[in-house]
Amino acid sequence: MSTKANLVLDQGATFSSTVTVADANGDVMDLTNYTGAAQMRRHYSSTNSTSFVVTIANSGTVTLSLSANATANIPYGRYVYDCEITSNAAIVTRILEGIVTVTPEVTR
C-alpha cells in the first residue's frame, strides 16, 4: 500500500522531495538494485504527463526532482502523481501517490 503525500511545486523553481521507504514492520528498506519512475498528470486518464527524475539511494531514500526549467513549463493547477519502484526481480511497488499543486510563477 502506498503512502499518500500531497506536494506543492512552485512554477519556475527547482523542486526536490525525499521520502524514506520502510517495509511493513517499519524497517528502512535496502533499495540496492531498485529503479524508480514517477509521473504527474492533470487527471488519471490524461495522455500528457511530466516525469520526475527519480533518484534511489541504497539507504532507503527515494528523491523526486524537477529542474527549474521543467517546472516553468508546467501550467499551474492541480495534478495527480504516483511513484513506483521496481526490484531487480521485476516486482513493482507503488510507494507514493497524491495531489501536486503547481503554484503560478510571477517572476520570469
> What are the tens digits of pLDDT across the range 58-84?
889 999 999 999 999 999 999 999 999
CA distance 107 to 53: 24
- What does the mean pLDDT of the chain come to? 95
- Mean pLDDT (whole number) for 3-15: 97
To which CATH superfamily is domain 3-103 assigned? Immunoglobulins (2.60.40.10)
Model pLDDT, residue 35 = 96
Q: pTM of the prediction?
A: 0.92
Q: Which residues, 6 or more positions from 69, have their beta carbon under 8 angstroms from its beta carbon?
A: none
Model pLDDT, residue 24 = 86
Q: What is the DSSP string of 24-43?
A: TTSPBP--TT-EEEEEEESS
- Each domain of the chain, given as residue ranges in start order, spans 3-103
Res. 1 pLDDT band, cuts 50 70 90: low
